[in-house]
């Protein structure tokens, strides 16, 4: 019975990925049907499915909170106003516009999770692109590439990086010293592709900036209070978890959302029903469904079985293991959202290290707070790079990709799997190659 359940879990997971890649059905529908199939076939009970979703409450709470926060301030027209200012600063030059997106997103993603940055900044892109008369889809895709790449600059820049870093108990400072240069290289790799992948926008010039619409900010007093709320949220994103009583980013985002709803309701610039109706529920349901599908693979022992295969193929070869892991996780992360992938891969890698005798059995404990043997750390570093940069490959590879797709659809254009693939595969392959060289030179030679 257990073998049958494992086979069904694998079949369901692969079927969902194929449906998403071929775009036969909407990605949220495909993932939701797959998750429900596991429940109705009794691979897992509804209670267990909800528990797997609950394990990722931080990700879901963060996304929901920031979505509400951004939507609550739409009536002020602040996003339209900022979009126009970016175009004016770029002087209507497509080249400068692309580089300005890189310059704005990179430092923000060093301190905020990349999906959060996309939620905050992506609403600027559609009105900005419409003012220049270009398609905003490539600009959103570029924002995603930079957000995912810059997520490697610090420990908190990408959820997948944080999950792996937390598993090996690496400090924020140690991460900066050991791995931030890899994030810099990843961003530079994207910049190098701009004249080729985005050549149409790169050559665009808008001669008469006076013809641009100049939207006025509405409800300035409300916006001032809103700015205080957003500043509070951003500050506590950075310092919240280091306080004597730690406050998680998800809790901060939810509090910010509640305050924004209160402000909108009391000032009557919008209603609570309108704001909640416009939340990107499709993206949230997609993530919940994917967590259930990964849970099915974990419960039926598929993930544990893979650790045995790792041990048989790689033995104790850290160099080979690191390179194989980087490319394997990178390729997997291009078709599986990197957060649930890393959640599944971390215990797999720990089990592999114990199986081949490279780490003591104590590392398997959920509350393990010790240090891993230094010689095995490149395996975890390789996983960080593979999971984060592999997410640039396809539409479903990273949480920020899904968020950008949802925002694009809300503005009337759908980012198809094929369209994202055209940009994503070249960037992903180049970044995996450069990061493999970095890991090899920095840690293994």
Query: What is the 3-state secondary structure of the chain?
Result: CHHHHHHHHHHHHHHHHHHHHHCCCCHHHHHHHHHHHHHHCCCCCHHHHHHHHHCCHHHHHHHHHHHHHHHHCHHHCHHHHHHHHHHHHCCCEHHHHHHHHHHHHHHHHCCCCHHHHHHHHHHHHHHHHHHHCCCCHHHHHHHHHHHHHHCCCCCCCCHHHHHHHHHCCCCHHHHHHHHHHHHHHHHHHHHHHHHHHCHHHHCCECCCHHHCCCCCCCCHHHHHHHHHHHHHHHHHHHHHHHCCCCCCHHHHHHHHHHHHHHHHHHHCCCCHHHHHHCCCHHHHHHHHHHHHHHHHHHHCCHHHHHHHHHHHHHCCCHHHHHHHHHHHHHHHHCCCCHHHHHHHHHHHHHHHHHHCCCCCHHHHCCCCCCCCCHHHHHHHHHHHHHHHHHCCCCCCCCHHHHHHHHHHHHCCCCCCHHHHHHHHHHHHHHHHHHHHHHHHHHHHC
Task: Report how far residue 410's alpha carbon sits from residue 416's, in angstroms, rounded to the nearest whole number.
Answer: 14
Largest Cα–Cα distance in the chain? 70
> Is the pLDDT at 162 greater than 70, yes or no?
yes
Structure tokens at 412: 């009337």
Q: Rounded to whole angstroms, how far apart are CA atoms 166 and 168?
A: 5
The residue with greater pLDDT, 173 or 241, is: 173
When pLDDT is averaged across residues 115-140 and rounded to a whole number, the result is 81
327 pLDDT band, cuts 50/70/90, is very high
pLDDT at position 367 over 80: no
In this predicted structure, the answer to whether residue 425 has a pLDDT above a threshold of 70 is yes
Q: Using alpha carbons only, give the angle 51, 54, 60 rounded to the nearest 5 degrees.
A: 150
| Predicted pLDDT of residue 46 | 92
For the segment 202-229, what is each residue's pLDDT rounded down to a tens digit? 887 766 555 555 667 888 888 899 889 9
List CB contacts of 367: < 8 A, sequence separation 6 or more: none
Mean pLDDT of 420-430: 95
pTM: 0.76
pLDDT number for residue 350: 85
* Rg, C-alpha atoms of the chain: 22
CA dihedral 126, 30, 57, 51 (to 10 degrees): 170
Q: Does position 433 have pLDDT exceeding 80, yes or no?
A: yes
pLDDT confidence of residue 25? 86
**pLDDT at residue 233, rounded to an integer:** 83
335 — phi, psi (to 5°)?
-120, -10
Query: Which pLDDT value is given to residue 297?
Result: 84
Q: Is the pLDDT of residue 365 over 80?
A: no
Give me the pLDDT at residue 37, please.
95
pLDDT at 38 over 60: yes
Instruction: Give the pLDDT score at 424.
Output: 95
Give tens-digit pLDDT for 341-360.
787 788 788 888 888 888 88
Buried b (16+ CB within 10 A) or exposed e, 11-28: ebbeebbebbbeeeeebb
297/183: higher pLDDT: 183
Integer Cα distance of 234 and 252 in angstroms: 9
Model pLDDT, residue 1? 45
| Block residue for tokens 């984060």 | 388
Q: At what angle do helices 338-355 and 302-314 cross, to 10 degrees?
A: 50
Best mean pLDDT range from 190-194, 208-212, 326-330: 190-194
Q: List pLDDT tens digits, range 51-64.
A: 888 877 877 887 78
Percent of residues, the chain, with pLDDT higher than 90: 30
Give me the phi and psi of 205, to 5 degrees please.
Answer: -135, 135
What was the pLDDT predicted at 444? 83
- Using alpha carbons, list the distances in angstroms from residue 204 to 103, 105, 209: 19, 21, 13
């Amino acid at each position: 019975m257990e073998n049958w359940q494992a086979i069904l879990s694998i079949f369901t997971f692969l079927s969902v990925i194929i449906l998403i890649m071929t775009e036969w059905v909407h990605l949220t529908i495909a993932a939701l049907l797959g998750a429900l199939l596991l429940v109705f076939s009794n691979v897992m009970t509804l209670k267990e499915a909800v528990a797997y979703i609950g394990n990722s409450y931080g990700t879901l709470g963060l996304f929901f909170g920031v979505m509400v926060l951004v939507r609550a301030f739409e009536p002020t027209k602040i996003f339209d106003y900022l979009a126009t200012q970016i175009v004016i600063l770029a002087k209507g030059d497509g080249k400068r516009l692309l580089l300005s997106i890189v310059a704005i997103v990179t430092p923000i993603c060093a301190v905020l999770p990349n999906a959060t940055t996309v939620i905050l900044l992506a609403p600027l892109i559609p009105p900005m692109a419409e003012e220049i008369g270009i398609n905003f889809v490539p600009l959103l895709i570029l924002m995603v590439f930079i957000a995912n790449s810059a997520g490697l600059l610090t420990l908190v820049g990408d959820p997948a990086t944080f999950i792996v870093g937390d598993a090996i108990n690496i400090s924020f400072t140690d991460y900066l010293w050991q791995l931030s240069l890899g994030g810099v290289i990843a961003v530079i790799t994207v910049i190098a592709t701009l004249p080729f992948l985005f050549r149409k926008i790169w050559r665009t010039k808008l001669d008469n900036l006076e013809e641009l619409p100049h939207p006025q900010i509405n409800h300035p007093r409300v916006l001032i209070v809103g700015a205080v709320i957003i500043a509070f949220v951003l500050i506590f994103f950075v310092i919240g978890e280091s306080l004597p009583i730690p406050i998680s980013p998800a809790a901060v985002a939810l509090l910010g959302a509640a305050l924004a709803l209160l402000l909108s309701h009391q000032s009557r610039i919008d209603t609570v029903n309108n704001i909640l109706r416009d939340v990107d529920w499709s993206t949230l349901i997609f993530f919940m469904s994917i967590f259930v599908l990964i849970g099915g693979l974990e419960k039926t022992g598929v993930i544990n079985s893979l650790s045995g295969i790792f041990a048989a193929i790689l033995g104790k070869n850290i160099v080979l293991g690191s390179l194989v892991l980087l490319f394997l996780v990178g390729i997997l992360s291009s078709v599986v959202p990197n957060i649930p992938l890393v959640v599944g891969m971390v215990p797999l890698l720990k089990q592999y290290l114990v199986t081949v005798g490279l780490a003591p059995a104590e590392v398997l404990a959920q509350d393990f707070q010790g240090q891993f043997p230094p010689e095995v750390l490149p395996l975890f570093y390789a996983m960080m790079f593979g999971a984060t940069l592999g997410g640039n490959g396809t539409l479903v590879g990273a949480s920020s990709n899904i968020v950008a797709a949802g925002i694009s659809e809300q503005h009337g254009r759908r980012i198809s799997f094929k369209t994202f693939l055209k940009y994503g595969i070249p960037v992903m392959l180049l970044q995996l190659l450069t990061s493999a060289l970095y890991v090899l030179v920095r840690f293994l030679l």
